[in-house]
Structure 1
Amino acid sequence: MDVFNHYLPWTYKRLSLLPESIWQQLFSPSENVEQDQTYPITNLMVLLYQKITNECDLSTFKKRASLVRWYEIYGKSIFNIEELETKLNYQTQKRREPLKSNGVNLVGYSRGRLGLGEDLRAYAELLKHKGIAFSIVHIGHPTDDPLSFSSPFENGVIFDKSIFFINAIEAAKLLEVVEDLSATFGYTTIIPPWELEHAPEEWAETLDSFDEVWGISHFTTKALSRVHASVKYSAPVVLPCKYESEKRKKNTSPFRFLFVFDAGSYIERKNPLATVQAFQLAFAKNENVELVLKVSNSSDTEHWEKVKLKSLSDSRIKIVDKLLTSSDLEQLWDSANCYVSLHRSEGFGRTIAEALVRKLPVIATAYSGSNDLFLDDYPLLVEFNLVMINKGEYPSSTNATWAAPNIESASALMRYVFEHCETEQINKWRESGAEHVQQNFMLHSKSRPLDGWNV
């Protein structure tokens, strides 16, 4: 059912895509499922459960209970069901209170385990730090984790300024279901992520619908400027580490290289196979080293299958393919000796920033938005060549290029960090890298257009 294929706010225009009789049928108890749970199992619950989990078997009490639990904790969040039910309960649009002028709405995937969710949550901390009132406008997402990321500031649209943390593709879909963007959200700003040198020309009309467009790096700002007359650079917010290390990694442990990435954000772009290849080139199998790949949203792609095959044949390569608690993830970070990202392109590079804040030496491709995170003379950046993007590797990328990091260059740098990790020189790079991120991307950074707003 197309109306549930997009993760957008529920508007009266969006509701009108289905007749009232269909909505009534969706919220009616399912005649095909035994009703033995605390809550009636509706047709909508079954539809959404099958859509997200691909689970069609509801033949046992336990499986039906799992559906109900999933729906109450996750399904309602992913599909904005509370907002949907509120809108359906009004036959005509309720008169809204005038929007207030002393704060900001943050619109996006506030409960999602993805970069855009991190961006919104970090911006909420920035506004709190500055003493600026704000309200979070939650949009559901398949990666929602309501138990970890629900916020008491989720109060809907109440201010006359709104910042959207969504990509331009989703923004175009949003514009199709909102009658009047300004009347609904006030003065609008969008911060759309983008990872290639040129933004698609078809974005021009979508971005022109917003009052301001901000770029998350100088690379992205330049790319967006090709389709919008006035794009402002806005430094993303990098938050301090939440947990303090209880003890330093023991010297007797294997020297650990770490790469944390979201495979759902286009695995060819994240390029973990290059990291594996560089690691295997750098070290013999009898050396006390290991590579840990922490992946989320993995799927059976050709690229990922190659990575898994290499890990199966090399005990030094470990894959962590499961959700971790914040504490467990921080322990993983604390166990690392060096961070490696041989990406083909980054809009910003949040995990690179997090590694630098943690004072890890970082080996990264010397290309795209992640270059903002390094001082000009940072010595651990990997050489690259620009190559054409193959069909299907990234959206809207016809005749576009990105980086192919040099495996030999990366391998030599991994070897160098392994052999010199505790030297004064690398400690100096650690300190300067952390200081650069702290000065330019944390809460007190001045490189944000928000500072000129009258709020």
Structure 2
Amino acid sequence: MSLLRRLPLKYRLPLIHGGLEAIAAPRQVRWPKSDDLRQGPLIVSGFFNESLGVGRAGRMTADALESAGYAVGRHDLRPCFRHIPDQKAVLPGEGGVWLIHANAPELLVALMTHRPEQWRHRYRIGYWAWETPLAPPLWARMVRWLHELWTPSAYVAEALAAGLRAQGLDDLCGRLRVMPHPLMAPPPSPDRARFGLSPDRCEVLSLFDVNSSPARKNPWASIEAWLKAFPIPSPAAALTLKASSLDSATQTRLSERIANRPDVRLLSERLSDEDMDRLMASVDIFLSLHRAEGFGLGLLEAMNAGVAVVATEGTGNDFLAPDNGYPVTARVVQLHDPDGPYSALRHDPAQVWAEPDLDTAAGILQDLVADPVARGSKMAAARATPARLNQRWSLEALKAHDFNRWLDS
């Protein structure tokens, strides 16, 4: 296992996913072809104890359901991975609704580590995010085992629908539901001193996770746009690149590019959800020149904190508009992820993403750094955006879903 972890993602993920499918294949033969659904509790499974983006999103989903008045049983998925050989993972309760807030490969683990008697009586909902226009075949095949599939954006829903159609599973497209990530938390308090940020300059933040593909998150574009905007370091502004899961190769490449730039720093400290919220609230501008997003939770969190958002237009972050932020124009290019998780995708003309215009981004940065009034001009609309998206999570909206039929009254 330690050797597997050292492999690049482009080799590691196909090995892991292929291995899981091979282990699951003889078990799937015995999986029930029809369900005997019964009423029971609402169980939400996710990576609740981890700082991963999918873990944070799972916690937000459980929080939103509780805020709407549902009794939620939280079930951590990570221990299930220990039960791949013996299928002895245990789900709490019986019947009811099982919402698995994890992507298709992890759903496969959840189903194959719990004996079918534990889940055949439950109404099953998946919550997935995918970041290219065509979801992989494994993802399409796994929809068969769900009654509903929630996605954070219309972009992801269409990617999954395209994947289903490519596998001849058009009839399953009706199971897709768009449920934007809920953000119920009040705006966090800033703490510039905690993160070494100056009270006297414009602080800009860009986030990326190496495991989510540096090519997709595209920190290089944030750096290049910054250097275009400020060819000479300015005492009036600084850029912080917050990296997660940073590997030595990416760190070396980043360090070389920002060498001799005291106005650009790399922050790789592991932060809790609370500290990430404080960091976001402590800056003036959030910069995300990504090539694709399934949703763009960081953008929404920045809006909630009253931070000006400069980000690539399109893909899943369709809530970003000229009235609440600063969309950066982009052109469509063929997907190219040489070392990340998307490198395993077969070449397909449908697999494209966005290339942000760096001159446009640089011009926006120059204007915002020079004008604090402009940075605050869209704050009211930005802060109203989470509440607008949260309407899908109101009790009235949730009660319209079929899953309510299988909950204890």
TM-score (norm 1): 0.69
Judge which range, 440-449 or 172-181, deviates more. 440-449
Q: Is 1:380 aligned to residue 326 of structure 2?
A: yes
Contact 2:45 2:100 in 1 (8 A): yes
Deviations 1:267-323 (A, max 9, x none): 21111111011011101324421001111111134x543222123321111111111
CA distance in 2 between partners of 1:256 and 1:435 (Å): 23
Aligned to 1:408: 359
Amino acid of the structure 1 residue aligned with 2:221: A
Aligned to 1:22: none
SS at match of 2:73: strand
Contact 1:257 1:291 in 2 (8 A): yes
**Aligned to 2:173, which of 215, 224, 229?**
229
Contact 1:389 1:397 in 2 (8 A): no
Q: Is 1:431 aligned to residue 377 of structure 2?
A: no
CA distance in 1 between partners of 2:300 and 2:117 (Å): 33
Aligned to 1:366: 313
Amino acid of the structure 2 residue aligned with 1:120: G
The alpha-carbon distance between structure 1 residues 445 and 385, as it changes in their structure 2 partners (threshold 3 A), is: farther
Alpha-carbon shift at residue 169 of structure 1 (Å): 2.1
SS at match of 1:269: helix
Amino acid of the structure 1 residue aligned with 2:131: E
Aligned to 2:155: 219
Q: Is 1:343 aligned to residue 343 of structure 2?
A: no
The alpha-carbon distance between structure 1 residues 362 and 369, as it changes in their structure 2 partners (threshold 3 A), is: same
CA distance in 1 between partners of 2:223 and 2:118 (Å): 48
Aligned to 1:397: 345
Provide structure 2 residue ranges, at least 5 long, that are not aligned to the other structure: 6-15, 18-22, 28-35, 81-89, 165-171
Alpha-carbon shift at residue 128 of structure 1 (Å): 1.8
Aligned to 2:206: 259
Q: Is 1:421 aligned to residue 339 of structure 2?
A: no
The alpha-carbon distance between structure 1 residues 438 and 386, as it changes in their structure 2 partners (threshold 3 A), is: same
The alpha-carbon distance between structure 1 residues 180 and 361, as it changes in their structure 2 partners (threshold 3 A), is: same
Q: 1:101-116 maps to which residues of 2 (within 5 A)?
A: 101=39, 103-116=41-54
- Tell me the C-alpha RMSD between the 2 structures: 3.5
Contact 1:182 1:188 in 2 (8 A): no
Contact 1:168 1:206 in 2 (8 A): yes
CA distance in 1 between partners of 2:213 and 2:309 (Å): 22
The alpha-carbon distance between structure 1 residues 397 and 245, as it changes in their structure 2 partners (threshold 3 A), is: same
Amino acid of the structure 1 residue aligned with 2:359: E
Q: 1:34-433 maps to which residues of 2 (within 5 A)?
A: 101=39, 103-140=41-78, 156-180=92-116, 183=119, 186-226=122-162, 227=164, 228-230=172-174, 231-241=176-186, 243-245=188-190, 253-283=200-230, 284-301=232-249, 303-326=250-273, 328-371=275-318, 373-375=319-321, 377-378=323-324, 380-390=326-336, 391-395=338-342, 396-398=344-346, 399=348, 400-423=351-374, 426-433=375-382
SS at match of 2:132: coil
Alpha-carbon shift at residue 357 of structure 1 (Å): 0.4
Contact 1:175 1:181 in 2 (8 A): no
Counting matched residue pairs gives: 353
SS at match of 2:301: helix
Deviations 1:320-362 (A, max 9, x none): 1111345543442232111000011011111111000011110
Alpha-carbon shift at residue 443 of structure 1 (Å): 8.4
Aligned to 1:84: none
Deviations 1:126-168 (A, max 9, x none): 12212211111111289xxxxxxxxxxx983455101111111
Amino acid of the structure 2 residue aligned with 1:108: G
CA distance in 2 between partners of 1:162 and 1:368 (Å): 29
Contact 1:105 1:158 in 2 (8 A): no
Deviations 1:404-442 (A, max 9, x none): 11111111111111122224xx43312111112222137
CA distance in 1 between partners of 2:288 and 2:324 (Å): 15
Contact 1:188 1:210 in 2 (8 A): yes
The alpha-carbon distance between structure 1 residues 305 and 406, as it changes in their structure 2 partners (threshold 3 A), is: farther
Amino acid of the structure 2 residue aligned with 1:101: Q
CA distance in 1 between partners of 2:268 and 2:102 (Å): 26
Contact 1:259 1:339 in 2 (8 A): yes
Contact 2:234 2:263 in 1 (8 A): no
Q: Percent identity?
A: 20
The alpha-carbon distance between structure 1 residues 448 and 114, as it changes in their structure 2 partners (threshold 3 A), is: farther
CA distance in 2 between partners of 1:252 and 1:232 (Å): 43
SS at match of 2:317: helix
Provide structure 1 residue ranges, at least 5 long, that are not aligned to the other structure: 8-12, 18-97, 143-153
Judge which range, 315-324 or 440-449, deviates more. 440-449
Judge which range, 307-316 or 328-337, deviates more. 328-337
The alpha-carbon distance between structure 1 residues 325 and 213, as it changes in their structure 2 partners (threshold 3 A), is: closer
Higher RCO structure (Cα 8 Å, ≥6 apart): 2
Deviations 1:17-42 (A, max 9, x none): 9xxxxxxxxxxxxxxxxxxxxxxxxx
Alpha-carbon shift at residue 200 of structure 1 (Å): 1.8
Alpha-carbon shift at residue 174 of structure 1 (Å): 3.8
Contact 1:157 1:185 in 2 (8 A): no
Amino acid of the structure 2 residue aligned with 1:196: T
SS at match of 2:388: helix
Aligned to 2:31: none
